[in-house]
Amino acid sequence: MHSRELIETYQSYVQDWRRHFHKYPELSNEEFETTKTLAKELESMGVEVQVDTERGTGLIGIIRGDKTGKAIALRADIDALPVVEHNTFDFKSTVEGKMHACGHDGHMAILLGAAKMLMDMKDRIEGTVYLVFQPAEETGGGAQNFINFGNWFNEIDAIFGGHVWIDLPAGLVSVEEGPRMAASSLFNINVKGKQGHGAQPHQAIDAVVVASAIVLNLQTVVSRNISALDSVVVTVGNIHSGTEWNVIPGEATMGGTVRFFDPTQEEHIVASIRRIVEHTAAAYGATAEFIYENRVPPTINDTASSALAERVVIDTLGVHKLSKMRKVMPGEDFAWYLREKPGCFAFIGIQNPEIDAVYDHHNNRFTMDDSILSAASAVYAEYAIQWLLENK
């Protein structure tokens, strides 16, 4: 049997699970009930389950094929976001202020569908498939924590995962090689000036003016320090300063993010930001402290894994479902796995204007065409089977 023959069989199964998870969202590192539900469902299929009992969130399902061989992991993330849902469908979030607004409900459903399919095709599996349900993707750190759970990460030889993607029409799949999602870093800037009377600015050092100048000067990091052929983003996302209308504030804080694809550029980008921050402040007689932290490296698909994924998509769904999509600037903690293991991260199209599945990820009206999720399950299952066959 081939995975493509099971797409219809499990279509409503996968769709129902996506809607169930959508109704009961849990935030990063609080996916306790989600974990229990997943464990119960996998056990009911006869899948061996290892729950991270120490944290109470996240689990691994293990499917051993009829023949022995290498091991591959298929990964889904399981957390929701602190977003108030504005959708009105009957499976909308039942928890006020929490919502699966990124599509991780779909990822869990896809992986449950893949588990069903793999259990039906154990005779084709030459090795072991690990089903990885990872907590806390949204807040960062989830993948790094989960790498240290049990021994699964040492045991696997390859990994595959994906993200449902709203910019891609429903049913299309993109698996190109190279950088697919950007590195994600955060920074904080603390400006110190001198507080004073709103009417006597000459006796103060205005932190609002300094912060404003820093924001404007930071616009030259990308436009004047980075090659026009490279993709980099520097965003200041928040500024806080002052509380009164007649007091010049002596302090300001700012926070922001940096995104890039080429890790060798990181040092240069960071040095450029630091230079502008410190010297702009100095030009106004103030000081500024720049604090930088890289959260996620870029997500990079290796050539062989992407080539296999392309063949699997064509073989399972047909050549017309294989899409080309440009890389995107958001980050993804799947990158940590790809730093150490060969693998591929796929984008799965879920956009469908007919059912209003057009709103961006993290929007309070985000939703997806979940009728195509079992096709994604088939791609996951088939990738695992083929990888094990071709890498004996």
**Which residues in this chain contact Ni ion in the complex, by CB under 5 A?**
102
Distance in Å, CB of 357 to Ni ion, minimum: 15
Return the HEC string of 241-300: CCCCCCEECCEEEEEEEEEECCHHHHHHHHHHHHHHHHHHHHHCCCEEEEEEEEEECCEE
Angstrom distance (rounded) from CA 263 to CA 184: 11
Positive or negative, the CA dihedral 260, 233, 104, 355 is negative
Residues 269 and 237: beta-carbon distance below 8 Å? no
| Beta carbon nearer to Ni ion, 102 or 375 | 102
Q: How far is the CB of 361 from Ni ion (least distance, A)?
A: 6
CB of 270 to Ni ion, least distance (A): 26
- CA 89/CA 86 separation, integer angstroms: 9
Q: Which is nearer to Ni ion, 364 or 391 (CB)?
A: 364
Nearer to Ni ion, 167 or 289 (CB): 167
Minimum Å gap between C-beta 77 and Ni ion is 6
Q: Which is nearer to Ni ion, 166 or 313 (CB)?
A: 166
Nearer to Ni ion, 106 or 249 (CB): 106
Beta bridge partners of 345: 161
Question: CB 287: neighbour CB atoms within 10 A?
Answer: 15
Element (H, E) at 315: helix 303-317
91: exposed, middle or buried (Cβ count in 10 Å: 0-12, 13-18, 19+): middle
The smaller minimum CB distance to Ni ion, of residues 102 and 384, is found at 102
Q: Helices (DSSP H) in 8-72: which residue ranges? A: 11-23, 32-45
Q: Is the Cβ of residue 14 or residue 47 nearer to Ni ion in the bound state? A: 14
Q: Which two tokens stand for residue 392?
A: 């004996």
Q: What angle do CA 280, 284, 287 make, to 5 degrees?
A: 70
What Rg, from alpha-carbon coordinates, does the chain have?
24
Residue 138 beta carbon to Ni ion: minimum distance, rounded to whole angstroms:
7
Q: Which residue has the CB atom at the shortest distance from Ni ion?
A: 102
Q: How far is the CB of 240 from Ni ion (least distance, A)?
A: 28
- Cβ–Cβ < 8 Å for 361, 103: yes
Smallest gap, in angstroms, from Cβ of residue 374 to Ni ion?
Answer: 20
Name the minimum Å distance from CB 336 to Ni ion.
15
Q: Toward Ni ion, which CB reaches closer, 102 or 172? A: 102
Rounded least distance, CB 163 to Ni ion, Å: 6
Q: Looking at beta carbons only, is 250 or 349 nearer to Ni ion?
A: 349
Contacts of residue 9, defined as CB under 8 A and 6 or more positions apart, other chains included, come to none
